[in-house]
Structure 1
Amino acid sequence: MTASPQHPLVLLDLDGTLMDSAPGILASVTHAYRTLGLPVPDAATLRSFVGPPITESFPSHGVPSEQVEEAIKLYRADFAETGMWDNSVFDGVPAQLERLRDAGCTLAVATSKPEVFARPITERFGLAPLVDAVFGAPLDEQGTKADVIAKALATLGRTPADGPALMVGDREHDVVGAREHGIDCLGVTWGYAAPGELEEAGAVAVLDDVDQLAEQVLRLLG
């Protein structure tokens, strides 16, 4: 699986960028808290769970260290059964991916979601035929977004000399992870970032309109 060197590479986050996955993720997170008898975080805090690894979010939001492992197990079991399917592709995304492919871009999903979930989700919701590859985290979610991007670049046989590349994502970890590989990130605001999060992280640009995605990506790729 090698991307042609002359083809620009676009790495695409999944949750909050291509798909509105919040309903299922938040339902499964809430299930874990309630089953453990812990206070469920407020709506704004729950929303922050979408994007980063769940292994980071639970200990950051009130789950005692001795219960984190059980919280993760409860979350994953509920998510695998129901939460992963409580999901939808953002309106306009398929058409934008088609435009990018027509323009000669190589498209790869690069998500912090475990790959064992990301692949069936992209297949079920019709995104798999529109991208060239799907890369995610291991099931234990060890590592960072930069690690997922490293895996994508290695598998696709890409180096900085192989042509332009761009990350598209909705959270700061997308920006930071891409930067570790010398790749700019286009931030999108229809996802789950807090106000100003993408700008503060150093996104090369921030986009509000799905229907302008392909145009902006191609402009940034030069």
Structure 2
Amino acid sequence: MSRPTLFFDLDGTLIDSAVGITRCVAHALTQLDHPVPTDAELRGWIGPSLRTSFTPLLGNAAKVEAAVAHYLERFEAHGWAEHQVYAGIGETIEQLHAGGHRLAVVTAKNEPHARKIIAHLPFGHRFDDVIGATADGRLSQKPDLIAEALRRLSLDASACWMIGDRRMDIEGARHHGMRNVGVLWGFGGEQELRDAGADQLAAAPHDLRAMLAA
């Protein structure tokens, strides 16, 4: 019996990227002379696509695009490196790969930036592909990103699991009838993941191996 392919979210699942993301959001809003939300509010921006978060705050489509451009400019220069790898996730990725699982990253982060980050992770070479958002926002929502991953890797949803920390990861998986795990070390939290309908919850990276073997 073949092992399922595992789709991993990036921010809040493989890396703690709070510093880089929140600083880039603050930079973008400052460039537009718009008040910057509190740090607690900015943490809620980690996971959704940039346009999803900027639109209700700025309203005007032109301002949203300008904010995205300012964000990406700082992220390209500094933000991409402002992260930490979660303790234990590297070992877990190596073990899952050794156990025969095919691995991919599926993230709402801009794909070139996601690829840049993955390429610099010590376990990044274990991922067969990195599927991320397009610069124009055409591809940015999790159901669409998962569909793109299935297309690129020539897979059926029944052969895959989605692993992530936010409701978007769980909702995206459920949209495709895909098995999923919500992780509790990221930014969503237990209640958000339960409300989204997570199949299982992992308290720590090492829990994933047992869940996948069950």
TM-score (norm 2): 0.93
Instruction: Report what 2:198 is aligned to.
Output: 203
Q: Aligned-pair distance for 1:207?
A: 1.4
Gaps of 5+ in 2: none
Q: Aligned-pair distance for 1:146?
A: 1.1
Instruction: Report what 1:158 is aligned to.
Output: 155
Written as runs of structure 1 = structure 2, the 5 A alignment for 1:43-54 is 43-54=39-50
Q: Conserved in 2, the CA contact under 8 Å of 1:116 and 1:139?
A: no
Q: Residue type of the partner of 1:99? A: Q
Q: Which of 195, 214, 217 lines up with 2:209 in the alignment?
A: 214
Written as runs of structure 1 = structure 2, the 5 A alignment for 1:12-31 is 12-31=8-27
Gaps of 5+ in 1: none
Instruction: Report what 1:119 is aligned to.
Output: 115
Q: Residue type of the partner of 2:43? A: R
State the percentage of identical aligned residues: 37
TM-score (norm 1): 0.90
Written as runs of structure 1 = structure 2, the 5 A alignment for 1:78-157 is 78-143=74-139, 144-157=141-154
Q: Conserved in 2, the CA contact under 8 Å of 1:88 and 1:125?
A: no
Q: Which of 56, 61, 66 lines up with 1:70 in the alignment?
A: 66
TM-align CA RMSD = 1.6
Q: Conserved in 1, the CA contact under 8 Å of 2:165 and 2:189?
A: no
CA distance in 2, matches of 1:217, 1:47: 29
Q: Residue type of the partner of 2:153? A: L
CA distance in 2, matches of 1:105, 1:169: 17
Residue-pair matches, total:
212
Q: Conserved in 1, the CA contact under 8 Å of 2:94 and 2:123?
A: no
Q: Residue type of the partner of 1:147? A: D
The superposition leaves residues 67-112 of structure 1 with CA deviations (integer Å, 9 ceiling, x where unpaired) of: 2121111111011111111112111111101111121111111111
CA distance in 1, matches of 2:192, 2:172: 14
CA distance in 1, matches of 2:114, 2:149: 14
